[in-house]
A and B are shown apart, each in its own frame.
Chain A
Amino acid sequence: MINQSPTNLWLMIIALAVTAYLFKIFGLVILGSRQLPKVVDRCLGLIPAALLSALVAKDTFSIGQSLVIDARVAGFTVAVIAAWRRAPLIVVVVLAAGATALVRAV
């Protein structure tokens, strides 16, 4: 699990808070209504697709630097089906956690 000191984690939280706020205020107040080039706009819009998918892959199929297949795959499968069937988030998380816990228990 975690191998960070609480102080360093606090520093990361502060840095992230400042960065997130700067992004927000740069668009809203500082740059104003200038237009970004279309291609930059399109690439920035793709960041969530690329990163969220990578995060799903990492959190499901790896521990540290090793690729592993374990009980989480059951939770992942259930989560994909539930999310695709438009279940509310809480249902998706509970079903996925339930499936993972069940596979671990048997």
Chain B
Amino acid sequence: MKRFFTPLAEPAVRRVVIASLTLGGAVGVFALSFGVASVSAGASVWQTCALSLFVFTGASQFSAMSVVGAGGSLAAAFGGAALLAARNFVYGLALSSSAKSMAGSLPRRIFAAHFVIDETTALALAQESPRLRKIAFWTTGIALFSFWNLGTLIGALAGSAIDPQKFGLDIAFPAAFIVMLLPHLRSNIGRQAAALGGVLCLISISFVPIGIPILIAASAVLVGLRK
């Protein structure tokens, strides 16, 4: 135990750990709303928890259940969610040069891959030394995984106990999406992609099966070809 707590005496390590835990708490709240929204969309408590345990990438989980809840096909729900998960591939690439020092042996790297998401990548890459990077990756990964799954379970149990429509909880999905979207609107090109994505979705909604408009909207990323 002493060996475990000694590094915390170091200010730099303490900063990283505090940042991870703060982020974990915030993500737990996100998970609450996922739990509520997912059972409102028709998933069971078990299915909702399985999404958080095994998919473990927030935006994809939200997207999948949002399409399912609207009555879309499972293929369409899967397609949009998979596209959103594709960014973890980019994060993995960004982290790969530190993968050996962060996770060591191949089996440990294979295990670490499950934790490659927005927050772990951001906090790990913000550190200067390989040692701090390793600490940031694992503390963020473990804190997020714990809070995300605990929050999901509580939200799912609460959500199945109330009438979601009556409490306006069908707005929980778009409200969470708005919060997730904001950081992407800081750049000009991000705003263009968002505007085009929204418009493409609304235009196509009446003409194609439910869920497909989300896939059509994905073509808005082609604004990245210019420049």
Contact = CB atoms under 8 A, between A and B. Distances in A.
Given A23-B89, A24-B92, A75-B171, A2 B201 contact: no
B224 to A, nearest CB: 4
B83 A47 contact: yes
Interface stretch (B10-18, B51-59, B126-134): B51-59
A80 B227 CA distance: 30
Contacts of B92: 23-29, 31
Contact of B194 (A12, A20, A26, A53): A53
Interface of B: 26, 29-30, 32-33, 41-44, 47, 50-51, 54-57, 59-60, 62-64, 66, 68-71, 74, 77-78, 80-97, 99, 106, 109-110, 112-114, 116-117, 165-182, 184-185, 189-191, 193-202, 205-206, 209-210, 213-214, 217-225, 227
30 contacts: A9-B68, A12-B64, A16-B82, A17-B51, A17-B54, A19-B78, A27-B90, A32-B99, A39-B225, A44-B86, A46-B189, A49-B197, A51-B83, A52-B194, A53-B197, A54-B197, A55-B80, A57-B202, A58-B202, A61-B205, A62-B70, A65-B205, A76-B175, A79-B178, A84-B182, A89-B175, A92-B175, A96-B171, A97-B175, A101-B168
Interface of A: 1-4, 6, 8-17, 19-21, 23-29, 31-36, 39, 41-67, 71-72, 75-76, 79-80, 83-84, 88-90, 92-93, 96-102, 104
